[in-house]
Amino acid sequence: MSSTETKVPSHQRRNRQRSDAPFFFVMGGISATFITLIVLLLVADLRFTSLSDFHAALVKPEIQAAMRLTIASCTVAAILSLWVAVPLGYLLSRYRFPLRWLIDTIVDIPIVLPPLVLGLSLLILFHQKIGDWQLESFLGDLGFSVTYRWPAVVLAQFSVACAFAVRTMRVTFDQIDPRTEDVARTLGCTRGQAFMNVTLPQARRGMIAATTIAWARSLGEFGPILVFAGATRMRTEVLSTTVFLELSVGELDSAVAVSLLMVAMAIVVLLILRLLGTGLNT
Amino acid sequence: MIELKNVAITAGGFQLERIELTVPTGAYAVLMGRTGRGKTTLLEAICGLRKISSGQILIDGTDVTSWAPGDREVGYVPQDLALFPTLNVAEHLAFALKLRRWGVKQINDRIEELATVLGIESLLNRGVANLSGGESQRVALGRALSFRPTVLLLDEPLSALDETTRGEIQTLLLRLKQSVTILHVTHNREEAMVLGDHHFRLDDGRLIEAVLEH
Answer whether B143 sits within 8 Å of A185, measured CB to CB: no
- Of B105, B104, B45, B101, the C-alpha closest to B76 is B45
Is the backbone of residue B6 left (phi > 0), alpha (psi -120 to 50) or beta? left
- B89 part of a folded domain: yes
What sections of B67-201 are H helices per DSSP?
A: 89-99, 104-118, 133-145, 163-176, 189-195
Answer whether B99 sits within 8 Å of A198, measured CB to CB: no
Residue A8 pLDDT? 56
Q: Which of B78, B85, B99 sits opposite A183 (nearest CB)?
A: B78
Strand, coil or helix: A60:
coil
Q: Which domain holds residue B145?
A: 2-209
Strand, coil or helix: B183:
strand
Count of structural domains within chain B = 1
- Of A47, A115, A241, A199, the C-alpha closest to A207 is A199
Residue A277 pLDDT? 59
- B214 part of a folded domain: no
* Contact (CB, 8 A) for A187 and B70: yes
The yes-or-no verdict on residue B36 having pLDDT over 80 is no
Q: Give the pLDDT confidence of B106-147 residue by residue, as tens digits.
A: 999 999 999 998 888 999 999 999 898 889 999 999 999 999
CATH number for the domain including B88? 3.40.50.300
With a pLDDT cut of 70, the percent of chain A lying above it is 91
- B111 part of a folded domain: yes
C-alpha A278/C-alpha B18 separation (Å) is 48
- Of A70, A75, A72, A69, the C-alpha closest to A215 is A75
Of the candidate CATH numbers 1.10.3720.10, 3.40.50.300, 3.60.21.10, 3.40.50.1370, the domain formed by A51-276 belongs to: 1.10.3720.10
C-alpha A134/C-alpha A125 separation (Å) is 9
- B72 part of a folded domain: yes
* Contact (CB, 8 A) for A188 and B70: yes
How large is the average pLDDT for residues A174-192?
A: 95
Q: Give the pLDDT confidence of A74-111 residue by residue, as tens digits.
A: 999 999 999 999 999 999 999 988 888 999 999 999 99
C-alpha A138/C-alpha A132 separation (Å) is 10
Distance of residue B74 Cα from the nearest chain A Cα, in angstroms? 7
Q: Which of A183, A189, A202 sits opposite B76 (nearest CB)?
A: A183
- B96 part of a folded domain: yes
- Of A44, A93, A45, the C-alpha closest to A210 is A93
Residue A4 pLDDT? 47
Q: Give the pLDDT confidence of B47-99 residue by residue, as tens digits.
A: 999 999 999 999 998 999 999 999 999 999 999 999 999 999 999 999 999 99
- B120 part of a folded domain: yes
Mean pLDDT, rounded, of chain A: 88
Residue B89 pLDDT? 96
How large is the average pLDDT for residues A151-157?
A: 96
Residue A2 pLDDT? 45
Residue A281 pLDDT? 43
Residue A3 pLDDT? 45
Q: Give the pLDDT confidence of B5-30 residue by residue, as tens digits.
A: 989 988 777 788 888 889 999 899 99
Answer whether A201 sits within 8 Å of B99, measured CB to CB: no
Q: Which of B44, B78, B99 sits opposite A187 (nearest CB)?
A: B99
